[in-house]
Homo-oligomer: A and B are copies of this chain.
Amino acid sequence: MQIKLILAGYGTVGKEFVKLIHEKSSFIQKEFGLELILVGIIGRDFKLYHPEGLCIDTLLKLGGGSEALHKYIEQHSVRNEKMNGHVFVESTPTNLENGNPGKQYILQAIENGMDIVSISKGALVTSWKEISEAGRAANVRIRYSGATAAALPTLDIGQFSLAGCKIERIEGVLNGTTNYILTKMHEDNTSYAEALQQAQQKGIAETNPSLDVSGMDSACKLLLLSNSLLHTEYTLEDISIEGIENLSKQDIRKAKEQGKQFKLLARAYTGDAGEVRLEVQPYAVDSSHSLASVIGTEKGITFYTDTMGAVSSIGGASNPRGAAAAALKDVINLYRKNIL
């Protein structure tokens, strides 16, 4: 079965996704009976499209980003026509203002009857209701493992492994950067500023780390998990968010003296009036907590259920390849025949 893919965003993760489908093409064909054909890429400045498939082999040799797409156009025939495919993979930079350009792309792709696999969060976080309603109306499927902790299985577990359970509570360490900083502060007695600097030097934290350290990235993931697994229709404004910027060496030391360590926990639980409450805040957990062993850039999540008890997943590569692999998984699971 041929599956034609269109990719929006040719940054680090986008390129990693293209690499993966190239590397794994024969494996995926053999294992799942799927022939993945990349027919289009929408970059910031250029679009590539060919209904028979782009020449990935060449593209990957041309470097990254806009420059690579431009060089490709110079060397290969592309078609200036309406893009058509089975699945639209959204990997543009996350924009939490209005979700664009991802949002426009996704709505357009839905209108064209394509299934959606989103790696970036912006569109889904800002426009959950609009996008999910459009998807239902057009009878297309929307997946976003890449946007909800990527290589760490979160959505899969909630939707699939816990099918039939009532999920009573969710707790997650959903951001690797802040967990790295907190781990450093705990283990090496460094201040927040020092630990952040180390994380930046190692390429773990970005130059502008605010999305991570403010708790916003965790909140985005929590929002998507809650909206899909707990059937809320919340926005970021419904989440109480506190970051890790104000944690002092003393806070950490005090926790340590009590045998505890700080984690930036994203939590969904039921409030007194039966409503779902969402919260991101630093929390000192003791060593028996299910996420205490989530160390460094690792992530983890625990689902508390009525019939299966507490189920945690921990780990998953926190890097562009892991995020790309999560999107590839979504693509495969949408079209595979042999298991599901």
Contact = CB atoms under 8 A, between A and B. Distances in A.
Residue from A292, A332, A340 having most chain B Cβ neighbours under 10 A: A340
21 contacts: A20-B164, A153-B157, A153-B161, A157-B161, A160-B333, A163-B336, A164-B328, A164-B332, A165-B325, A165-B329, A288-B295, A290-B293, A293-B293, A307-B317, A307-B324, A308-B316, A308-B317, A308-B322, A311-B314, A312-B314, A340-B340
Closest 3 CB pairs of A and B: A309-B317, A153-B161, A307-B325
A231 to B, nearest CB: 9
Interface string A302-329: 1000011111111111100110111011
A24 interface: yes
A27 interface: yes
B164 A24 contact: yes
Given A32-B163, A156-B160, A151 B308 contact: yes
A28 interface: yes
A215 B190 CA distance: 45
Contact of A316 (B28, B156, B311): B311
Contacts of A290: 293, 314-315
A332 B152 CA distance: 23
B28 A329 contact: no
Q: How many copies does the complex hold?
A: 2
A142 to B, nearest CB: 11
A299 to B, nearest CB: 10
A339 interface: yes
B329 A163 contact: yes
Interface in A1-42: 20, 24, 27-28, 32
A309 B313 contact: no
Nearest to A321: B307
A329 B161 contact: yes
A162 interface: yes
Given A28-B164, A151-B308, A308-B316, 15 more contacts: A27-B166, A153-B157, A156-B160, A156-B161, A160-B161, A160-B340, A164-B328, A290-B293, A290-B314, A290-B315, A308-B317, A308-B326, A309-B317, A309-B322, A312-B312
Interface residues of A, number: 48
Contacts of A302: 315
A182 B141 CA distance: 46
A339 B159 contact: yes
A311 B161 contact: no
Contacts of A161: 153, 156-157, 160, 313, 329
A151 B309 contact: yes
Interface string A155-191: 0110111111110000000000000000000000000
Contacts of A322: 307-309
Contacts of A24: 164
A290 B163 CA distance: 26
